[in-house]
Each structure stands twice: as C-alpha cells, then as structure tokens.
Chain A
Amino acid sequence: MRLNEEHQALRDSVRDFAREVVAPVIATHYEEHTFPYEIVRQMGKMGLFGLPFPEEIGGMGGDYLALCLAVEELARVDSSVAVTLEAAVSLGAMPIYRFGTEEQRRRWLPKLVTGEALAGFGLTEPGSGSDVGATQTRAVLDADREEWVLTGSKVFITNSGTDITSLVTVTAVTGTEPDGSKEISTIVVPSGTPGFTVQPGYSKVGWCASDTHELAFEDCRVPAGNLLGERGRGLAQFLSILDEGRVAIAALAVGLAQGCIDESLRYARQRHAFGSPIGALQAIQFKVADMETRAHTARLAYHDAAARMLAGEPFKRQAAIAKLYASESAVTNAREATQIHGGYGFMNEFPVARFWRDSKILEIGEGTSEIQRLVIARDLGL
C-alpha cells in the first residue's frame, strides 16, 4: 500500500504545519481550555477544511484519504486540533454536501469548506448515544408558518459553540413510520436561532482545546426548507456519515499512536539510567517496537478502509476494524509512552500526558469499541 506523490506532499505539508504552527502554542490552549482560532484560521488558508470537496464548491478537489492524512499528521502533535478538523469536515460540512439541495449547498458550504465557519453534528442525546433510534428530540412541522419546531437536547457536540459556528445539523423525530418505529429526519439549525441555546463548555478529561457543548432546543423554529435530504431518512444518512467518520477517527487515533512513538524515541535517547540512554535497555526497546507495530498495523487498516471507500466498494466492516484497532492501539501506546517517560509522563507539560488524556475518548466517540465489534460481527453474518 503506497501513497501517491500528491498525498505524500500533502502529508508532508501538514506535518510541517503541525510542528511549526500547532506544537509551539497548543499546550497553552489545552491548559487554559481555549479554542485555537488562529490555528484554525491558518488551517483554513491551507485548504484543509476543503480537502475532500470538489473545486466547484470552493474545495481542494482532494478525497477522503487526503482528509485522513491531514487528520493523522495533526493528531501526531495534538488531538484537539485534529478532531476540530475531522468533525468540521466529516460531520459538519459533509452531510450538507452529501444530502443538501443545490440551494442548501450554496447557502452553507462556501464558508464551511474554507474553515471560515464551522458546523456541528447533533446526534447524541443525554439518554441515547449508541442507540440512535432512541432519539427523543422532536421536530413538528407547523404547516401554517412552514416551519419546523424543535424541542429537545443534544450532548457532547463538537464545534457547536465557537464564535465561528454557523449551524448545527440535528437529528429529530418527525413522525411515526408505518411499522410503528420513529421517523427520524435531519434538520439544519443556524446558530443564533431563537430557542436554540448553547450551554457552557464541559470540563473534559482530554481534547481540552476542542469545542464541545450541550445544546438545548425549546420552541426553536427554523424554515421548513431546512430539512436536510428526505424526510424520514435521517437515521440512514447519519449511519453512512458515521461509517466514513470512523475511518477519519481511525486516522486520528493512528496519529496519536505515532505521536507517542515520536515522543518516546526522543525521550529514550536523551534520558540516561544505569550508565546509558534508556533506549539501550531492552525493556524500553520492546515497548517501542510494540508501539510501532500497533501504529503501523492500524495505519494499514485505515488506508485499506479508505481505499475501499474511494473505490466505491463496501467498507463498513473495514472501517469498524480500523476504528476499533486504531483507538485501542492509541490507548495502549499512550499508556506505554507515559510509562517510558516515568514521572515526567504524569506532568501535563509533557506531550505524552496530553496524549494519555486524549486517547480514551477514541474508544468511545464515533461508535464505542463495543459498537465496532457489533458491526464487525453482524457483517460476518452473526
């Protein structure tokens, strides 16, 4: 599996950006829980938010693998920045590009693909995460005023409360299917709509420089034309978006796993114990070798899933495998990297401490490890 020249050049360009622009300032953002607007602005200038979109709509004319490579290289340095890009593109802009009408695309996409604006993806609720069908948020069509009226709340929504957030795409129950199940649709709620409240940011274990909020909708009215795609197709739409997103999250996890190796190699060469650099000790060598094996294997898994996706082949199982393996590798690598760093690894000023705190969410977000195993088992016919 080899990257073509353009993908390699993009990866190198983002690698330089992450080291030169992100690395020097991100620890402060993380410590102070501030959103890195200046980094996001520069990522926008570089075209990262437009990577998988065609040039006609202001995108870069790249593909989903290009996005994954950018996310991986950013996550090698910092996950908050990486997930800001991942969520903005694959959860924010992608549903509008994929399911929006010409008019909806024209209205919302131009600023999303340049990173001048961000969009959130409102799926998870206080009482339902993995069980998407249990959605409680309701949207009732007020036929007289041609408006959807939304009531409910969403939790853990990335990029939903920044100064540049322009909208949130929300799943809501819009009726009952003939078989008695819920009819779920997707509705676009622009930021600032009366009745749409963004709650204060969470105190999170990790991803401290990324923007995450709880959202409340109370008699929140948006035009009937804000329905995204077909009525009743919300669930299917989001499941397809999640399949793609899993590949990007796998890339993010690989980046974190690789970052752990980068930092451990640096530390193992300079830290001395018992008369030699600790990197000369087999106990450390074996740890690093195992870390490299996990990162390499996980990278191949996500490249394979991305290749199938781009070829138009089924990739649900491979996406789940990549996400499951990469996230568990990230957690293991972060634990081992912290161990290699000893006491310093427990100090927030060391990148590995940030990696350790950032790793756990990867086994939870965008489908838990349990859900991935379920997807794989079902795809095998069980």
Chain B
Amino acid sequence: MKTVVLVKQVPDSGAERRLRDADHTIERESADNLINEMDDYAIEEALRLQEAHGGEVTILTMGPTQAAESIRKALSMGPDQAVHVLDDALAGSCAVATSAVLAAALRTLSPDLVLSGAESTDGRVQAMPHMVAERLGIAALTGARKLTVGGDGTLTVERQTDEGYEVVTAATPAVVSVWDTINEPRYPSFKGIMAAKKKPVSVLSLADLGIDPGEVGTAGATSAVVSHQERPARSAGQKIIDQGDGGVKLVEFLASEKFV
C-alpha cells in the first residue's frame, strides 16, 4: 500500500505565541517550530500499516524553508521519502488554497491512503482532510481512533464522536484523519536519525504543480484576518457549594464540558 502522510510544521503550542500587528500572521520567531502534534500519530499509524502490510510511506509538507527541519524529523521516525511543496507565493495561504496545493501534490503521488492529523494545533480548522478528499473525489474517514485494513484493501475506521464512536468503511483510495487516541508515536532512534539524512526529499514549486500563484498565498486567500487582540486573562472558576446536590452539580459541570 502506498501511503502519504500530510505533515504540517506549527509553532510549539506549549509556548506563548504572538501575532504580528502588521499582517496578523504569527511571529514565527516567538516559538519553536515543531511537527503538528496530531501528525505524529498519523505518521505512526502509517508506519504500523507498513510494518503489517508492506508498501511505502511518503511525507507531504507544504511550508517555508524551515519546514525542512520537520520533514527530516518526520523521516527519522521511519518513512521512506518526502515531498516538500515550497514556494514564496504560498505565504499567507488560507485553508482552501492549501487544500488545492496539497491535492495537486497528491495527484502526482497517487497514493492508496492519505493520512493526516485530525487538526493542527495552530489553525484548528479541522477541515483539511475533508477538503483534500473532496478535491480528489475520494472518501474522507475523519477523526479516527482506530484504523484497520481488510484483506481486500477495505479501510475500517472507528470514528470518535462526543458520545462514543461510529464504525465507517471505505474502499481505497481514501483520506483518513486521526486523533491522538489511535496509537503512541515512536521516538526517533539514532539509526532512524542517521537514515533520515539519506532519504530523498523532492521539492515542488507551484509551477511544478501547475498552480497559478495568484490563487494562493495572501493574494488568493478566501478569508482575511482584519484584527486580533490578546486572549482575555483567565476568569475565576465556578464555585459549587454542597447543599445536598453538590455531586449532581459536579457531574452536570463535567458533562457540560464533555469530561464524562
């Protein structure tokens, strides 16, 4: 099976991040750049499927020059190769434009399976897997907590919902997005780190993909951020005083926040 994993480089969500006043984009220097956390789980899932069923795993990243670091890190976990879509005109691309670029790159790779994290920790749009699948005209199985491949290549996914899970199936090719409940990603070993240096990374420009620069980047964005402000300071918590119904109130709170 040929699997492509969509990997995005994002600013460390654990660090304090700032937006630029001029164009409301993130100050890349304000935080370390990492692989989007959920994408680690997608890479791990691809490697587990490869170990069980064979095939090859390719990393696909759209991002600026420094995204190469994340590509190398992803490769050190074990994938065979990577494709880096790199073009100055891509800066400021919206989700819709990004999906067009990723879909164009995926067409050149013709994978059986496209894996991605269910969301990115910077944008949190959660729409990329759907949009990519729509553009490619293939099924989207999103929010998976479990993925199995049948003997005939049928994909079966346990799709995590707020109340439980749904079992959905699709034939390949398909896009599957995963949550962090699906597996425990491996840590790169030294052998993996050394091997990653020698793995092929092909760089594609918008011209290579036949995309007009005017359709992407800030110029082609379907939405624009017009203003931003600091997150308000944390407000005081809600105090529950037990008047015989404390337990019920606690459960109500937990249920309203979907903890139970």
Contacts and interface: CB of A to CB of B under 8 A. Distances in A.
Contact of B190 (A5, A17, A62): A62
Given A6-B197, A9-B73, A9-B76, A45 B190 contact: no
A66 B190 contact: yes
A349 interface: no
A352 interface: no
B193 interface: yes
A55 B188 contact: no
A61 interface: yes
Contacts of A61: 190-191, 194
B189 A9 contact: no
B197 A60 contact: no
Given A9-B73, A9-B76, A46 B187 contact: yes
A45 B191 contact: no
A13 B191 contact: no
Contacts of B76: 9, 13
A51 interface: yes
Interface in B160-200: 186-194, 197
Counting contact residues on chain A (CB < 8 A from B), the size range is 10 to 19
A60 B189 contact: yes
A376 B186 CA distance: 43
Nearest to A42: B187
A346 to B, nearest CB: 29
Nearest to B197: A6
A6 B194 contact: yes
A16 B187 contact: yes
A62 B192 CA distance: 11
Q: Looking at A17, A46, A51, A55, which has the most chain B CB atoms within 10 Å of its CB? A: A46
B191 A10 contact: no
A223 interface: no
B77 to A, nearest CB: 10
Contacts of A55: 191
Contact of A60 (B72, B73, B187, B191): B191
B186 A60 contact: no
Interface residues of B, number: 13
A17 B197 contact: no
A195 interface: no
Contacts of B197: 5-6
A46 B186 contact: yes
B194 A46 contact: no
A190 interface: no
B193 A10 contact: yes
B191 A47 contact: yes
A382 to B, nearest CB: 40
B13 to A, nearest CB: 14
A6 B190 contact: yes
B189 A46 contact: yes
Contacts of A14: 187
Contacts of B73: 9
A42 B184 CA distance: 11
A10 B188 CA distance: 8
A9 B191 contact: no
A10 B73 CA distance: 10
Nearest to A59: B191
A144 B73 CA distance: 58
A129 to B, nearest CB: 34
Interface in A51-67: 51, 55, 60-62, 66
B194 A47 contact: no
Contacts of B188: 9-10, 13, 46
B194 A17 contact: no
Interface in B103-155: none
A6 B193 contact: yes
A154 to B, nearest CB: 32
A207 B104 CA distance: 55
A184 B73 CA distance: 48
A62 B194 CA distance: 9
A52 to B, nearest CB: 10
A124 B45 CA distance: 47
Q: Looking at B186, B188, B197, which has the most chain A CB atoms within 10 Å of its CB? A: B188
B190 A51 contact: yes
Contacts of A6: 190, 193-194, 197
Interface in A1-23: 5-6, 9-10, 13-14, 16-17
A58 to B, nearest CB: 10
Contacts of A10: 188, 190, 193
Contacts of B193: 6, 9-10, 13
Contacts of A13: 76, 187-189, 193
Interface in B61-92: 72-73, 76
A10 B195 CA distance: 12
Contacts of A9: 72-73, 76, 188, 193
Nearest to A16: B187
A113 to B, nearest CB: 12
A49 to B, nearest CB: 11
16 contacts: A6-B194, A9-B73, A9-B188, A9-B193, A10-B193, A13-B188, A13-B189, A13-B193, A42-B187, A51-B190, A55-B191, A60-B189, A60-B191, A60-B194, A61-B191, A62-B190
Q: Which 8 A-B pairs have the closest CB atoms?
A: A47-B189, A60-B190, A62-B190, A9-B193, A13-B188, A60-B191, A46-B187, A17-B187
Interface of B: 72-73, 76, 186-194, 197
Given A9-B72, A46-B188, A66-B190, 14 more contacts: A5-B197, A6-B194, A6-B197, A9-B76, A13-B76, A13-B188, A13-B193, A16-B187, A46-B187, A46-B189, A47-B190, A47-B191, A47-B192, A61-B194
